[in-house]
A and B are shown apart, each in its own frame.
Chain A
Amino acid sequence: MSILHTISKSPFQNQSLSSCVAHASSGDAILMIEDAVYGAVSGTAAAAQLAEGENISIYALGPDLSARGLGEAKLAEGINIVDYDGFVELAVEYDKTQSWL
């Protein structure tokens, strides 16, 4: 049973991202939306935590990155950028969607 985890809050604001990484299983995906996209920035503690996940795909919502001035050059390696269509495709691809508060 594969799960798409969505995180919407900045890793500088609460512990959702690190809780999510701790709970996600091999074969799951994590999608950062809204303020959570700050977790995709290279050099942050959050990006390092995300990189530790084994066989967990990491995504960030492109429009929310752009709205915050975060171009691809600022992101950590291994972050896949998707738009809203891509978000829908991920929701279809994975068996369940878990929204972290």
Chain B
Amino acid sequence: MKFGIVVNEGPYTHQAADTAYKFTKAVLEKGHDVHRVFFYHDGVNVGTRMSVPPQDDRHIQRNWSELAEKYDLDMVICIAAAQRRGIMDENEAKRQGLDGDNIAPGFRISGLGQLIEAGVQSDRLVTFGD
């Protein structure tokens, strides 16, 4: 079965970014497909590679990046939400005249159409966070 995942809450806020990660991992380990993970609203903050949590804490961004690498996940960050919160890839940083980018491995920046498409293509769309 094909799943779409939406993450609306930032990391280290309540629990949604953790729950979404554990759910997505369970989906993949059970042999289902994940069409896309869409990071929206504060959820885009998961996708910065500048996150440095204490060593004894879970590393939410790295967890997602490693999951993406292992399962070839498509992880999309909403461009409008990302620009407001300073999440940039190389192209966007250049276009905005900024001095650097911060997007983490495995993430890409794109538009809201990717969420709609994920809803159309997936058998189940599961949302985490408010």
Cβ–Cβ < 8 Å partners of A33 in chain B: 19
Partner of A97, one of B22, B25, B124, B130: B124
The range of chain B's interface size is 20 to 34
Q: Does B67 contact A (CB under 8 A)?
A: no
Least CB distance from A101 to B in Å reads 4
Of B1, B16, B27, B126, chain A has the most CB atoms within 10 Å of the CB of B126
A72 contacts chain B at the CB level, 8 A cutoff:
no
- On chain A, the residues within 8 Å of B30 by CB distance are 85, 88-89
Give, as a whole number of angstroms, the nearest-CB distance from A85 to chain B: 5
Verify A84–B16 contact, CB threshold 8 A: no
- Majority SS at the chain B contact face: mixed
Query: Who on chain B is nearest to A94 by CB?
Result: B124
Q: Decide: B19 and A34 in contact? CB cutoff 8 A.
A: yes
Per DSSP, are chain A's interface residues mostly helix, strand or loop, or mixed? helix
User: In the complex, how many angstroms separate the beta carbon of B66 from the nearest chain A beta carbon?
Assistant: 17
Sorted nearest first, the 5 A-B pairs with minimum C-beta distance are: A84-B26, A99-B127, A101-B130, A34-B15, A97-B126
Query: Which residues of A line the B interface, CB within 8 A?
Result: 6, 8-9, 33-35, 63-64, 84-85, 87-89, 91-92, 96-97, 99, 101
Query: What are 24 A-B residue pairs whose CB atoms fall within 8 Å in the complex?
Result: A8-B14, A8-B15, A8-B19, A8-B129, A8-B130, A9-B130, A34-B14, A35-B15, A64-B15, A84-B26, A85-B26, A85-B29, A85-B30, A87-B23, A88-B23, A88-B32, A89-B30, A91-B27, A91-B126, A92-B1, A92-B32, A97-B124, A99-B128, A101-B130
